[in-house]
Amino acid sequence: MPVLLIASLLVTGAFEAGGRVGIVFPASGLERYHSDAAEFGVELGYRSGPSRLLLNYAYAGLNAKEASPYRFDIHDLSLGYGYDFVVGRPSPTSQWGFDAAAAGGLSLLKRTFGDARETGKSPSVHLDAGLFQRQGHSRLSFGLDNVVFVESRSAGSTSNVSLTYVIALKGGVTYVF
């Protein structure tokens, strides 16, 4: 039975592959010391109707606001689910609408100051919303990506959980096979 379910999904759906670029805005305390930066990413997905399964990789390198050799690099890999809310009237060649996605991932973080390096990893949660347009085999999208990094610190016998936000405006092009 599971084999029939997987086979039917593969026949009725389509694979997607593409790239995206964006601007990252540090928030929740990071904005005091970090400037805005470019974000680059790749996306693989599988679409069946309005639902999409997504595998994303993104990279952003935040520099210090003042002229110093400090840099904060973020490598993020996430797996998520997206849904297309079609607003425009579909035609045989074009379709547009709104999309929303939620994903969970793991981020590899690296801080560099001169020759000193500090590395770590953090779980991340992505909440996305945006606009899309499908035309033929291509999908053009523009939206907002809110990334939340979850961090736990020990404070004596208890541990504190803190959240750090990074907001990105992103645009991308995906090819649907």
CATH number of the domain residue 129 falls in: 2.40.160.20
Domain assignment of residue 6, yes or no: no
Number of domains within the chain: 1
Percent of the chain residues past pLDDT 70, beyond the cut: 90
Domain assignment of residue 8, yes or no: no
Single-letter amino acid code for the residue at 93: T
Inter-residue contact 124 to 76 (CB < 8 Å): yes
Domain assignment of residue 123, yes or no: yes
Q: Pick the residue with more confidence: 12 or 80? A: 80
Instruction: Identify the residue whose tokens are 């499908």.
Output: 134
Quote the CA–CA distance of 176 and 141 in Å, as a whole number: 13
Q: What is the mean pLDDT of residues 118-129?
A: 93
Domain assignment of residue 94, yes or no: yes
User: CA of 124: how far to CAs of 59, 78, 93, 152, in Å?
Assistant: 14, 8, 37, 12
Other Cβ atoms less than 10 A from the Cβ of 137: the count is: 11
Domain assignment of residue 154, yes or no: yes
Domain assignment of residue 160, yes or no: yes
Residue 75: band (very low, low, confident or very high) from pLDDT cuts 50, 70, 90: very high
Domain that holds residue 171: 13-176
- The H-or-E segment that residue 55 falls in is strand 51-63
Q: Pick the residue with more confidence: 77 or 14? A: 77
Q: What residues form DSSP beta bridges with 83?
A: 51, 100
**Helix, strand, coil fractions of the chain, as percent rounded to 5:** 10, 75, 15
Instruction: Identify the residue whose tokens are 């009725």.
Output: 12
Domain assignment of residue 40, yes or no: yes
Domain assignment of residue 110, yes or no: yes
CA dihedral 19, 22, 25, 26 (to 10 degrees): 20
